[in-house]
Amino acid sequence: MFFLSEVEYKLLINKILPLARENPVDQSLRGWSWHVPPLKPDYNVRIPMFLVCSKYCPTARDAYLYMVEEKRGIVNEKMALGSAIHAAVRTVIRNFIRGKKLNFESWYEETLKAKDVKRRFERVKSLTRFVWEYVEAMCKSKFMEAMSRQPYASEDSVMATALPFLVNHRISGELLGLSGLLAVDCYDYLRNIVFDVKVSDEEYEWYRLFPTGYALVFESVYEVPVDVGCVVYVKFHGDRLVVKRDMFYIDDDLRSWWIEERDEKARLVAMKMDPGIPKECFKDCMYLGVCRS
């Protein structure tokens, strides 16, 4: 999931990193400038990252409903699948790094029974199993390969470099006007890349806002520059799992776009402004029953 291919390494080293060095990020757009404009939050509200970055709703009414009216909508199959796959990815990688073995069946029964996913969405289990097995195989293969190249290194040391991942890393976004507790899908601490997983057939430019936002949060808390983001698309073509990565430089334009989105949504919430219903709604929106009933 988070292992780059040879071509992606070339892209990172020969294109993205040189671009970042030649056109460095403006200091005012680094997360550590959270206390001065434009990063300084204008309003005293805290919004979850998914609402800042999501552009499914053309008028951002989802942000208003979630934050002002405290409505939660109805979970559909796509959302249940996304949630199960996120949980599977983080569980497999964390357990592998800790040397723990876990059986998919028992994990699935235990983890998802409370969410009522089993009964409502039959397909979710088989697709999540694909992802579980894929991530497990990738972890084993990368670890074995690294072990074979470093006969004198300890297993711990090989693990730390073969799988250099902070998975589901918890971090506070409050300096940037975000919820106090965010979870970053993955941070590669050797290559300094923030990953965000999307279980989606559609690829949107605005999905890049998620790694951008998390990079800003990392910079605000740890005061280290994070220049590279990556959206990991997980798709299913029939019975085949497809994983595609969109890796990019988190440049000034993306940072400014993220700030605009945050400010716009913070304004709606702080002023309790209902932005209204657009002509056309997102077909899988969890609020269709609220706005279109």
Q: Which residues bind ligand SF4 (CB under 6 A)?
A: 57, 59, 61-62, 277-278, 281-282, 285, 287-288, 291-292
CB of 231 to ligand SF4, least distance (A): 21
Toward ligand SF4, which CB reaches closer, 139 or 285?
A: 285
CB of 74 to ligand SF4, least distance (A): 11
Contact 163, 197 (CB under 8 A): no
> How far is Cα 40 from Cα 85, in angstroms, rounded to an integer?
34
Residue with tokens 């040189």: 18
Toward ligand SF4, which CB reaches closer, 71 or 118?
A: 71
**DSSP E strand boundaries for 144-255:** 165-171, 182-188, 193-199, 228-237, 240-249
Toward ligand SF4, which CB reaches closer, 195 or 287?
A: 287
Toward ligand SF4, which CB reaches closer, 44 or 293?
A: 293
Residue with tokens 């971090």: 171
User: Given strand 228-237, what is the order of strands in its sheet?
Assistant: 165-171, 182-188, 193-199, 228-237, 240-249
Toward ligand SF4, which CB reaches closer, 97 or 268?
A: 268
> How far is Cα 138 from Cα 44, in angstroms, rounded to an integer?
44
Q: Pairing state of beta strands 193-199 and 228-237? A: parallel
Contact 292, 280 (CB under 8 A): no
- 8-state DSSP, 209: H
> How far is Cα 207 from Cα 232, in angstroms, rounded to an integer?
10
Toward ligand SF4, which CB reaches closer, 61 or 142?
A: 61
CB of 287 to ligand SF4, least distance (A): 4
CB of 72 to ligand SF4, least distance (A): 12
Measured CA to CA in angstroms, residue 198 lies from 81, 235, 258 at distances of 11, 9, 18
CB of 200 to ligand SF4, least distance (A): 16
β-pair partners for 153: none
CB of 291 to ligand SF4, least distance (A): 3
CB of 232 to ligand SF4, least distance (A): 25
Toward ligand SF4, which CB reaches closer, 37 or 289?
A: 289
